[in-house]
């Protein structure tokens, strides 16, 4: 029992999927010129007034994202995820998120996936999410933090 992790009810896990490490460099006409570091600063600044902290991680590897989601079940209050290209392809990522059914999950997309190619218009994650924010640029992450704060406050009542 001594090694059992304790869930931190004030930390939001913010996960970013493949190629988001190239924000600001890759297709700025679609994703803008802000970097992943800018996203991380934004979510931390948005969370702080609510007494929340963020744990920001990015991976290009599906298995790593799944490991972090499984860890979140024991360690985090909520998950904000931009699954990027895995939105449209990863049943495994969806199945991992399904195990987090007692916490808020917010899905974020920088671009409006519904205005893009048909294969990008479906997300396996959306059906499990407490909310989906798309097409708001990196500001969508701040909206997601605000929604998580509201949902966590409601869970305490």
Cα end-to-end span (Å), the chain = 29
Cα gap 149→87, rounded to integer Å = 24
DSSP state at residue 43: H
Domains of the chain: 11-156 (3.40.50.9100)
Q: What is the DSSP letter of 121?
A: S
Place of tokens 């987090």: 100
Q: What is the pLDDT of residue 119?
A: 60
Rounded Cα distance between 94 and 98, Å, is: 6
Query: To the nearest 10°, the Cα dihedral for 114, 102, 75, 81?
Result: 0
Tell me how far apart the alpha carbons of residues 76 and 71 are, in angstroms, rounded to a whole number: 8
Distance CA 148, CA 139 (A): 14
53: its two tokens: 């902290």
What are the pLDDT tens digits along the chain (157 aa)? 445 555 668 999 999 999 999 999 988 888 889 999 999 999 999 999 999 999 999 999 999 999 999 999 999 999 999 999 999 889 999 999 999 999 999 999 998 877 666 666 678 899 999 999 999 999 999 999 999 999 999 998 8
Give CA–CA dist 109/122, Å, rounded: 12
Catalytic residue annotation:
31, 109
What pLDDT is recorded for position 30? 81
Gap between the Cα atoms of 83 and 16, Å rounded: 6
Q: pTM score, two decimals?
A: 0.91
């Amino acid at each position: 029992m001594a090694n059992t992790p304790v869930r931190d009810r004030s930390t939001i896990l913010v996960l970013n999927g493949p190629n988001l490490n190239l924000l600001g460099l890759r297709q700025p006409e679609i994703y803008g010129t802000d970097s992943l570091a800018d996203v991380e600063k934004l979510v931390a600044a948005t969370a702080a007034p609510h007494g929340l902290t963020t744990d920001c991680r990015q991976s290009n590897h599906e298995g790593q994202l799944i490991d972090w989601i499984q860890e979140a079940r024991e360690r985090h209050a909520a998950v904000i995820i931009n699954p990027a290209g895995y939105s449209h392809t990863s049943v495994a990522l969806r199945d991992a998120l399904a195990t987090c059914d007692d916490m808020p999950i917010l899905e974020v997309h920088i671009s409006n996936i519904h205005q893009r190619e048909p294969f990008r218009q479906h997300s396996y994650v959306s059906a499990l999410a407490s909310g989906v924010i798309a097409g708001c640029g990196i500001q969508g992450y701040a909206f997601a933090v605000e929604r998580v704060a509201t949902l966590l406050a409601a869970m305490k009542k």
